[in-house]
Structure 1
Amino acid sequence: MQKKKVRIGMIGYKFMGKAHSHAYRDVPFYFDSSVEPVLQAICGRDEEGVKEAAHKMGWNSYETDWRKLIERDDIDLIDIVTPNNSHAEIAIAAAKAGKHVFCEKPLAMTLEEAQEMLKAVEENGVMHVINHNYRFSPAIQWAKKLIDEGRLGKIYHVRATYLQDWIMDPKFPLVWRLSKEVCGSGSHGDLAAHSIDLARFLVGEFKEVSGILETFIKERPIVESSSGLSGNASSDSDTYGKVDVDDASVFLARFQNGAIGTFEATRFAGGNRNGNRIEINGEKGSIRWDMEKMNELDVYFHEDEPGLQGFRTINCTEEVHPFAGAYWPAGHIIGYEHTFINLIVDMLDSLGKGENPEPNFVDGVRNQAVLAAVEQSSETKTWISVEGLLNKSKISI
């Protein structure tokens, strides 16, 4: 039977562009999806750079104007891997052109922008997806199964940290990820957004939050250009610019189901390259996961007999573990790139069924509401209701 094809147009081609391109190319190798991705066109402002990327990553053509890409009638889905300040404009234009939309996180610069994006995709009846790839680690999917089956019982605690250290050098340049005009927020939107999404996926919706944001290095050297994610970068420039986003985000949370949580995101935790970690404690047991050991899930069950109680480490590479059976024999671990493959095959399968996958723009809006609530709390030094922010919207989610 001939497979349905979905023709991809991707805007952006650097760090996330490489991850997405690799995933599209590898999906047919590992999964027998009913929909085949076609790398139709890639878009970037630098013609030499995007031309080279198209050749290297296997794209059929390239554009230097995203508007022209959206206008093309040989494109079915727009994949947005650009900096945050362009997500809304591109996604809304794509939806109005009848294109499905796959967007990087965080969904937008503000809650209001995110809500407008959700409104656009819903009004135009197109599929919409947000890239929270960590959901698609087999270990996280297995944790979700255990929680949904009640194996942990009533959930009491969520404890999440996302720790990095790549900008600790005061001479690290003022890259776009440190500019509010381009990214909206710093570690908060970049890192805490992932922790928020994992918590919502595993435990449920947030009720209210109380937090603080902090910027440790107030000024940094200005550079002309940078990809913005290198722990070895530094600048000898004598011209400095203001850092107007947070270096660290810390907040407390109450969930609608009664659980409480602590969340910390920072780029100033020395020795942590990508310390995305979460622990969940319930009345019957606990789970904990560390992205740097992404195949492993630590599990504790209170019902184990005395003397044998304690965390056990499950290597989630057995065929019984979600997505794992598509790869290698048990114990042959997979990596970061496979989380993108798993998300994209789920997106393609949903497209083939005419369904909208998760996480989608509804999740993007809910995550953005938590981010916004923490920002408000840091400014007002009070608890902020997440639902209160969402209830101000005219969009029902």
Structure 2
Amino acid sequence: MAKKTLGIGMVGARYGARMHYANYMNLTPGLVEIRGVCSLTKVSADAFAHDMGIPFATTELDKLLVRDDIDVIDICSPPATHHEIAIKAAKAGKHIIMEKPLTGYFGEPGDPEPIGLHVARSKMREGARRNAEAVRNAVRANNVLFCYAENWVYAPPIVKMRNLIAASKGSVLEFRAEENHSGSNSVFSKEWKSMGGGALLRMGAHSVGACLYLKQWEGQQRRGKSILPVSVIADTADLIHTDASDRARKENAHQWISSDPVDVEDWANVVIRFDDGSRATVLVSDVGLGGLNTRVTAYMTDGVIKANMTANDVIETYAVDPNTFASENFIEKLETKAGWNRPSCDEDWFRGFAQEIEDFIHAIQDDREPLAGIDLAVDCVNVIYAAYQSAEEGRIIHL
């Protein structure tokens, strides 16, 4: 019996939405149909609809939610809008696909601005926790599926790492996860009220999510129950505005780095302790040149496994002129195509974007939980905001 074509309503019309759309188009024909898009402005909604051939564009979310032919709401809007849209979608009986992070703290009436410079991280942590639990409660109360777009969980290098861990007889003593590049191009990334944090939330959600997922999975394999995080200790900084970068600014030697925070961090280091005594170390940075760098290393009792989601040497190029290969994508955030470079063959596949969309659609079709769901999304928020509190208070925070 043929499966029903799922109607998708997209919320957001920028980079994330366009990436999701591209990967929907790689699915088996007939599985999905993009039937509408909602964006903050009519201009962006109409442009996205025109470019992608979507028949309906609006600035009003309710006009998507009331449509019987839309089964799934795909949320690719700025993080400050995530939890409210998700709750409305769940109450409307729509399944949810959401770009990370699930939510955060975005300020309350009376908070002095910029909130990242004035609001205590303990207050932020409690607010983020409330938002996350409100989404989880809405999802469960309305019996809809929540698909958390954490692509690292689906990336082939991480899948192979998981298989290798299963093949060994040893245990993971430490995960080391890293993501860095030269700064976000998003106008929303500079302020806490829009993003809910800086590099730690925006980028660290990947590293933290992968480590939490892998430890939970390892626990289920080794002892029949998940291995859970119990505490964090962290440090954060806005490195591009420190004394260390003064000389670079005077000499105009920092033009390759686009990071320019108002009240968020562009660097963070977090150590997570798990209930089996193992650790995960997470390092994220918005001030690292050389293109996108994403990797996870598993240090085990009987081996070491290194998973690299971006750089590989399947293809190598050399160019004197950076415009030689200008029209072809290499890797995200690469500053120049001059010199030696290693372009990704298929960045969406290698980083797990294609696989996550495929899993989400089949999970909804088959009425099963996706590999990355609401619990992982909530756990990531809780760990990251505990890390923010740890960095501010200079102490271990217990979960």
In the TM superposition, residue 55 of structure 1 has moved relative to its aligned partner by 2.4
In structure 1, give the amino acid aligned to 2:276. Answer: N
1:1-397 paired onto structure 2 within 5 Å: 1-28=1-28, 36-109=31-104, 110-149=128-167, 151=168, 153-166=170-183, 175-204=187-216, 205-217=228-240, 243-271=262-290, 273-293=291-311, 334-337=346-349, 339-386=352-399
Q: Is the 8 A contact 2:152 2:210 kept in 1?
A: yes
Instruction: From the superposition, tell whether residues 234 and 281 of structure 1 become closer, same or farther in structure 2 (CA, over 3 Å).
Output: closer
In the other structure, the counterpart of 1:228 is: none
**Aligned with 2:50: secondary structure?**
helix
Instruction: From the superposition, tell whether residues 142 and 42 of structure 1 become closer, same or farther in structure 2 (CA, over 3 Å).
Output: same
Q: Is the 8 A contact 1:40 1:61 kept in 2?
A: yes
Q: Distance in 2 between matches of 1:152 and 1:381?
A: 37
Q: Is the 8 A contact 1:210 1:382 kept in 2?
A: yes
Q: Is the 8 A contact 2:208 2:380 kept in 1?
A: yes
In the TM superposition, residue 45 of structure 1 has moved relative to its aligned partner by 2.6
Q: Distance in 1 between matches of 2:256 and 2:182?
A: 11
Q: Deviations over 1:116-155 (max 9, x none)?
A: 1011100110011111012212221111122134x16111
Q: Is the 8 A contact 1:147 1:202 kept in 2?
A: no
Task: Provide the TM-score with structure 1 as the length reference.
Answer: 0.76
Q: Deviations over 1:3-38 (max 9, x none)?
A: 311100000011100110011111116xxxxx7111
Instruction: From the superposition, tell whether residues 234 and 347 of structure 1 become closer, same or farther in structure 2 (CA, over 3 Å).
Output: closer
In structure 2, give the amino acid aligned to 1:61. Answer: F
Q: Distance in 2 between matches of 1:51 and 1:181?
A: 26
In the TM superposition, residue 2 of structure 1 has moved relative to its aligned partner by 2.7
Q: Distance in 2 between matches of 1:108 and 1:242?
A: 20
Q: Distance in 2 between matches of 1:191 and 1:4?
A: 35
Instruction: From the superposition, tell whether residues 233 and 58 of structure 1 become closer, same or farther in structure 2 (CA, over 3 Å).
Output: farther
Q: Distance in 2 between matches of 1:217 and 1:208?
A: 29
Q: Deviations over 1:264-289 (max 9, x none)?
A: 11101233x21111111111111111
Alignment RMSD: 2.5
Instruction: From the superposition, tell whether residues 19 and 295 of structure 1 become closer, same or farther in structure 2 (CA, over 3 Å).
Output: farther
Q: Is the 8 A contact 1:276 1:291 kept in 2?
A: yes
Task: Give the number of equivalent residue pairs.
Answer: 323
**Aligned with 1:213: secondary structure?**
strand
Instruction: From the superposition, tell whether residues 181 and 218 of structure 1 become closer, same or farther in structure 2 (CA, over 3 Å).
Output: farther
**Aligned with 1:292: secondary structure?**
coil
Q: Is the 8 A contact 2:205 2:380 kept in 1?
A: yes
Q: Distance in 1 between matches of 2:282 and 2:157?
A: 20
In the TM superposition, residue 351 of structure 1 has moved relative to its aligned partner by 1.5
Q: Distance in 2 between matches of 1:372 and 1:112?
A: 12
**Aligned with 1:198: secondary structure?**
helix
Q: Distance in 2 between matches of 1:51 and 1:342?
A: 28
In the TM superposition, residue 261 of structure 1 has moved relative to its aligned partner by 2.4
Q: Distance in 2 between matches of 1:349 and 1:49?
A: 29
Q: Distance in 2 between matches of 1:99 and 1:232?
A: 42
**Aligned with 1:93: secondary structure?**
helix
In the TM superposition, residue 337 of structure 1 has moved relative to its aligned partner by 4.9
In the TM superposition, residue 111 of structure 1 has moved relative to its aligned partner by 2.2
In structure 2, give the amino acid aligned to 1:202. Answer: L
**Aligned with 1:203: secondary structure?**
helix
In structure 2, give the amino acid aligned to 1:55. Answer: H
Instruction: From the superposition, tell whether residues 22 and 165 of structure 1 become closer, same or farther in structure 2 (CA, over 3 Å).
Output: same
Task: Provide the TM-score with structure 2 as the length reference.
Answer: 0.75
Q: Is the 8 A contact 1:13 1:53 kept in 2?
A: yes
Q: Is the 8 A contact 1:143 1:202 kept in 2?
A: no
**Aligned with 1:293: secondary structure?**
coil
Q: Is the 8 A contact 1:209 1:251 kept in 2?
A: yes
Q: Is the 8 A contact 1:152 1:281 kept in 2?
A: no
Q: Is the 8 A contact 2:348 2:354 kept in 1?
A: no
In structure 1, give the amino acid aligned to 2:7. Answer: R
In the TM superposition, residue 247 of structure 1 has moved relative to its aligned partner by 1.1
Q: Distance in 2 between matches of 1:367 and 1:380?
A: 20
In structure 1, give the amino acid aligned to 2:236. Answer: L
In structure 1, give the amino acid aligned to 2:155. Answer: S
Identity of aligned residues (%): 28
Mark the runs of 5 or more structure 1 residues left unpaired by the alignment. 30-34, 220-230, 236-240, 297-331, 387-397
